[in-house]
Amino acid sequence: MEGAGLMRLKISMTGLVLAGFCWCWPAVAADFYEGKTITLVVGNDPGSGYDSYARVLSRHMSQHIPGKPNIVVQNMPGAGSITAAQYLYVVAPKDGTTFAILFPGAVIEPLTGDPSKYRYDPVRFEYIGTADSGTRLCFTSAASGVKTFADARGRKTLIAATAAGSSTWDYAAFFNAVAGAKFEIVPGYKGPADLVLAMERGEADGVCALDVSTVTTLRPDWLGSGKANFIVQAGIEPNEKLLKFGVPSMWDFISGDNREVAELFVSQQVFGRPFLAPPGVPAERVKILRDAFDATFRDPEALGEARRMQLEVNPRGGEAVAALVKKVYASPRTLIDRMAKSIRP
């Protein structure tokens, strides 16, 4: 009896110790951020749409993180956000004090290219969420003579782009392959602001693949004004607001077997403004960042600022984004190869 009592006491004490551990674990995780500074890396230039989302998030997200750490924004443009992606994967601390917003193209690019060229595996990132499931636009200058997508299918149209592998290159090549456009890509521009300026200076007829929010950030008065011709919108579903402005959907020009390829290609737009952390960040800190991200894009003050900046906000949580990235990378190799051929002719 005495031995049985001692055993019950040991079991009881073990339960108390384990219970104490379970009570303390969340508190320890939450206390981590007190007094810390979080770096939010932007894989694009200051003043871009991606930068604008990061600035809004940095000003409001801290209020939703236990310990209210300071959040600073660091711009790291280059190679269509691939520079920032490689920094995040290889160099950045893996403790939850650094995360980034990248072009979705940087997430998709290794799918169609030689994986050995990229120092990161997109599937292994910790996805915090996306601020928008966006629509992309191809547009031309009013002086270009290319007023509609039908015009772009009938004559050569110079399209300014940053570099091969960037979304501004890939979408133009994609529309050539699956919709019969005659876009001639002119690479070498630094970022969205330079692309628009190149069009305005007459160095190119137009630009492809800028998100609605990027366009409205750079040129708030363009949509519906006649100052530019918005010739096609790209997205899984047509943007109803853009349809009312007379911007046709890509699905008006894509049919047959090309639809399957196109659906895979534009699936990246579901995570149009992806925020992600390095692989290896402790799970409890990933959860804190995800919860804070979700709360920020429910916060009336943050949403009000986004509206004033004309930013589209259609957020999705980190788990949903991570699941979609895994699904895309698990696509049949034959379909991936067809998509790769469409953007790398």
Q: Which pLDDT tens digit goes with each residue over 103-146?
A: 998 999 899 888 889 999 999 999 999 999 889 999 999 999 99
Q: Where is pLDDT greater, at 10 or 212?
A: 212
pLDDT at 21 over 70: no
Q: The domain that contains 232 carries what CATH number? A: 3.40.190.10
The length of the chain in residues reads 345
Q: Which domain holds residue 57?
A: 32-133+272-343
Angle at 194 between CA 140 and CA 305, to 5 degrees: 90
Distance (Å, rounded) from C-alpha 219 to C-alpha 139?
12
Q: How many domains does the chain have?
A: 2
Q: Which pLDDT tens digit goes with each residue over 134-186?
A: 899 999 999 999 999 999 999 999 999 998 878 899 999 999 999 999 999 99
Residues 156 and 213 in one domain: yes
> Are 325 and 127 contacting, i.e. CB atoms less than 8 angstroms apart?
yes
Q: Which of 267, 298, 314 is the last residue of a domain?
A: 267
Residues 39 and 149 in one domain: no
Residues 119 and 149 in one domain: no
Q: Model-level pTM?
A: 0.79
Average pLDDT, the chain: 91
Task: Name residues whose C-beta falls within 8 Å of residue 30's C-beta, 6 or more positions apart in sequence.
Answer: 66, 67, 288
Residues 38 and 65 in one domain: yes
The alpha carbons of the chain give a radius of gyration, in whole angstroms, of 23
Q: Which of 252, 267, 282 is the last residue of a domain?
A: 267
Distance (Å, rounded) from C-alpha 192 to C-alpha 269?
17
